[in-house]
Amino acid sequence: MTILLTTGYHDASAWRAALADALPGREVAVYGVDRYDPAAIRYACTWHPPKGMLKVLPNLEVIFNLGAGVDGVLSDPELPDVPIVRLVDDDLTERMGEWVTLQVLNHHRGTLTYLARQKRREWKEDDQPAARDVSVGLMGYGTLAAHAARILKAIGYRVHGWSRSDKPADVPLFAGEAGLGPFLAATDVLVALLPLTADTRGILNARLFASMRREGIGPVLINAGRGGLQNERDILEALRSGALRGASLDVFNTEPLPPDASLWAAPNLIITPHCAAVSEPGAVSRYVAGQIARHERGDPVENVVDRSRGY
């Protein structure tokens, strides 16, 4: 039995070794590198699999997505009808919590301003609101956002969330289209942790920024969800005009962000290269091994993607 591995633009060698470690005795074939018998593949571990790669595997039982967001795998129009398991793992969740907290603090505590003044050897202090006077809105209130919310609340921020459906949560939660307006009206710092779906594509646009609260340090946009959520021209213009006071972007419509993209030079913008929460091969391979063990003893695999919702 062979596990088929494909890792998009990431190097596959660390993944091959980690999977072999977590699943001793199983063969791992790297797509495009190793020869394999399609009939021998029961599991595929994939990140942005090439279209059509999976449909030709007659004995495929489960697809494991090597990240939390499944837009890459779902963009294959010929996916076989087997469960797609997305990544839900403490290692990934904690990394995202760090990144989100760092970015909220960067904008709240004026990191870009003070770094610019430091370069000019300028000793000048700005007024700064207390965390309890800053309102952070988590757009998409799933696994990653709920963890980030706990950290932000512990620092003292006012935190609330927005999700597709109403559900119990440990912060005030707004839901669905009806909840979006009131959610934005209460938000100084918007943290997007939404999946990319037909409903969420392009949602981070000028109209949305104009609906945010304009008091204190906001409006500030922080996006670690997906680049497809954002209208990059609107973000550039909003940063230039002051409609957005600041932004942090980890994800882009085109990745890597091309060297000549105008966003590189946008004011008050922090850019990171899709590294807010990286999938660590060892942690992910242990998660995959746990799910395979469940499947092989007859228990259902967990965190299965709902294809009709798109996440």
Cα–Cα distance measured from residue 141 to residue 167, given in angstroms and rounded to the nearest whole number: 10
Shortest reach from residue 277's CB to ligand OXD, in Å: 6
Cα–Cα distance measured from residue 310 to residue 174, given in angstroms and rounded to the nearest whole number: 20
Shortest reach from residue 11's CB to ligand OXD, in Å: 15
Identity of the residue, 67 or 281, whose beta carbon is nearer to ligand OXD in the bound complex: 67
Of 250-289, binders to ligand NDP (CB under 6 A) are 250-251, 274, 276-277
Q: How far is CA 285 from the centre of its chain?
A: 19
219 binds ligand OXD (CB under 6 A): no
Q: Is residue 226 annotated as a catalytic residue, yes or no?
A: yes
Using the rule CB under 6 A, which residue among 21, 37, 199, 215 binds ligand NDP?
199
Contact by Cβ (8 Å): 77, 98: no
Instruction: Choose among 226, 225, 222, 224: nearest CA to 235.
Output: 222
Identity of the residue, 102 or 206, whose beta carbon is nearer to ligand OXD in the bound complex: 102
Of the residues 48, 108, 226, 286, only one is catalytic, namely 226
Shortest reach from residue 119's CB to ligand OXD, in Å: 32
In the chain, alpha helices (H): 13-22, 71-74, 90-108, 111-119, 143-155, 176-185, 206-210, 232-241, 281-296
Q: Is residue 160 annotated as a catalytic residue, yes or no?
A: no
> Token pair of 80, please?
């076989």
Please report, to the nearest 10 degrees, the dihedral formed by the alpha carbons of residues 22, 16, 284, 83 taken in order: -100
97 binds ligand OXD (CB under 6 A): no
Specify burial of residue 25 (Cβ count, 10 A radius: 0-12, 13-18, 19+).
exposed
Count of positions on this chain that bind ligand NDP (CB under 6 A): 32
Of 226-245, binders to ligand NDP (CB under 6 A) are 226
Identity of the residue, 12 or 68, whose beta carbon is nearer to ligand OXD in the bound complex: 68
Residue, CB closest to ligand NDP: 142
Contact by Cβ (8 Å): 229, 207: no
Shortest reach from residue 155's CB to ligand NDP, in Å: 20
Which of the choices ligand OXD, ligand NDP, none does residue 200 contact, using the CB cut-off of 5 to 8 A by kind?
ligand NDP
Using DSSP, how many helices (H) and how many strands (E) does the chain show? 9, 12
Residues with active-site annotation: 226, 274
User: What are the residues binding ligand OXD (CB under 6 A)?
Assistant: 67-69, 87, 279
User: What are the residues binding ligand NDP (CB under 6 A)?
Assistant: 67-69, 92, 96, 140-145, 162-165, 167, 193-197, 199-200, 224-226, 250-251, 274, 276-277, 311
